[in-house]
Amino acid sequence: MSIVQQIKQAAALAMNQLYQLNINAADILVNATKPEFEGDYTVVLFPYVKQLRKSPDVIGQELGATITGNNSQLFHKFNVIKGFLNLTVVDTYWINFLVEANQNVQFGIAERNGESVMVEYSSPNTNKPLHLGHLRNNFLGWSIAAILEASGNSVVKTCVVNDRGIHICKSMIAWLRYGNGTTPETEGIKGDHFVGNYYVKFNDVFKAEVEELVAAGMEKDTAEKQAPILLDAQKMLLDWEAGDADVLSLWHQMNTWVYAGFDDTYQKIGTQFDKVYYESKTYLLGKDLVEQGLSKAVFYQKPDASVWIDLTSDGLDEKIVRRKDGTSVYITQDIGLAVDKTKEFGCSKSIYVVGDEQNYHFKVLKLICQKLALPAADGIFHLSYGMVELPSGKMKSREGTVVDADDIIDEMVGIAKAKTEELGKVKDFTPQELADLYHTIGLGALKFFLLRVDPKKKMIFNPEESIEFQGFTGPFIQFIHARIKSILRKVSSVNPDALPDNTQLLLPSEKAILVALELFPSIIQEAANEYDPSKLAIYLYDLSKTFSSFYTELSIANAESEDKKLLRLQLAKLTAHVLQVGMGLLGIQVPERM
């Protein structure tokens, strides 16, 4: 139990003893004491003033005396300032915490609570390579899955591949027209880039054909519907749905090229899935649920035979769930897949990591599932995130202005190499060690920069800014970890299992680190509860700053006593553990040397 939880329980008990108030401990507000005041933690008293009909200062004095009297092993003094009760924790608590945490190789990781959660992320289209936006999606999905697992859940990671539809046929028809039998192997490029080039080619040809039709006197709107290459793509989609052997063979071949490219990128960034679903196999799902919805009067049928749901009473509007020709729409497929996922994995929660342009879609999905009384409908959660833009502005796939994931990773590794070589501290590294280090720093900088921002916010990605070795960046935290590891190697003669004297007095810098370290498990839980890895990223940065200040002020190897040396070594050891585990939950490696 964290010190904050213990304070809340102690305060709730004291309230009951003093005033016969039955207050839920979780509702008591406890904050870190402001630096300008004496104390470690502050209990906010104002919520109880009206109820008790006493001044905040009187409540604080009575409560402080009772809490410290009941818990002398935790608190040795208190003060009351303007309605705030400031408690000072005894040093022995912090030193005992340090010893116990260092003896626990799983410090920060919660025991399994039996709840099963599904996290769906990535969801690429097979007509183009992964791009910068996909990277934010993948990093969010993977890290949320890791954080949820660390907070006690069993997690299933899934991906839905959008491998059918008109956008796929556009790449296919462009390759048929202009590919001349070339392949990724003959061109020497990754399969996803190869197919993506033909998606761009389609758009270029489409624009040219529209301009030609307009020049011949056709209205632009009509020309955009009558462009020959678009008509060919639409016919190909119909042929695909009809099971045309030649079209299916080409579709399979081009998707195979793309999947090989995806797998290579996923391996680079450390993404993996427990189950991959393909839209070509799921797009017919949900049809039986439409019939169920009609029989339950959840859906209604219009005169043209199309089926709808009226969500106006829920603040939305009417939504089609089946076209008049009997074919499904995206929402119908998603309802069917949600049912299949629950049957297969039995997850009580299902988290969809999808950009905020789909906010409406997921509101509708959850409402329909709830109205149909489908299993785990209440557990549907849309982890909505803002788009990633470059300093130059938005990216557009059709125009070929998207930054490919592979290209941005290569750029980051190149910047990491240049900045590391500027420091000149890796001359004893082997070529392979250097290559691994540059990849670790470059990818770590990229992940941290994209995860340090609240997912709901739109963000601008600046490669140069993200990889600085000072400031709010991944490389800064990696550098602090490497520095600690260097310290531990240099004083390796000290027995790492020796216990520090728990009666010694802590200096402010020592205590500051202990207070920060003790927060680690609760930060993981907070990040899990809010589906927000930025909570963890900010914490790890603050911890790194705190350690940097501590190490600047106090010596470890030349500490004023052996007890102080041992205490500070234990502090360094636990800090390194927390940085390694915490960054690992963000999908980021921390090097031993850099």
Residue range 3-89, CATH number: 3.30.1360.70
Long-range pairs, 60-68, Cβ under 8 A, ≥24:
60/84, 60/85, 62/18, 63/11, 63/14, 63/15, 63/18, 66/14, 66/17, 66/18, 67/7, 67/10, 67/11, 67/14
What is the location of CATH 3.30.1360.70 in the chain?
Answer: 3-89
Q: What is the four-CA torsion angle of 139, 140, 143, 147, rounded to 10 degrees?
A: 170
Phi and psi at residue 399, in whole multiples of 5°? Answer: -95, 0
What is the location of CATH 1.10.730.10 in the chain?
Answer: 405-585
The length of the chain in residues reads 594
pTM of the model: 0.91
Which letter does DSSP use for residue 119 in this model? E
* pLDDT computed for residue 31 by the predictor: 93
Domain range 405-585, CATH class:
mainly alpha
H runs (alpha helix) in 87-219: 91-103, 132-150, 166-178, 184-187, 191-215
* pLDDT computed for residue 500 by the predictor: 80
Q: Which two tokens stand for residue 66?
A: 């009772």
Identify the H or E element spanning 318. Answer: strand 318-322
First to last CA, the chain: 36
**Helix, strand, or coil (residue 37):** coil
pLDDT per residue of the chain (594 residues) written in tens, 0 to 9: 899 999 999 999 999 999 999 999 999 999 999 989 999 999 999 999 999 999 999 999 999 999 999 999 999 999 999 889 999 999 999 999 999 999 999 999 999 988 899 999 999 999 999 999 899 999 999 999 999 999 999 999 999 999 999 999 999 999 999 999 999 999 999 999 999 999 999 999 999 999 999 999 999 999 999 999 999 999 999 999 999 999 999 999 999 999 999 999 999 999 999 999 999 999 888 888 999 999 999 999 999 999 999 999 999 999 999 999 888 888 999 999 999 999 999 999 999 999 999 999 999 999 999 999 998 899 999 999 998 887 765 544 444 456 889 999 999 999 999 989 888 888 889 999 999 999 999 999 999 999 999 999 999 888 888 888 889 999 999 999 999 999 999 887 677 667 787 778 999 999 999 999 999 999 999 999 999 999 999 999 999 999 999 999 999 999 999 899 999 999 999 999 999 999 999 999 999 998
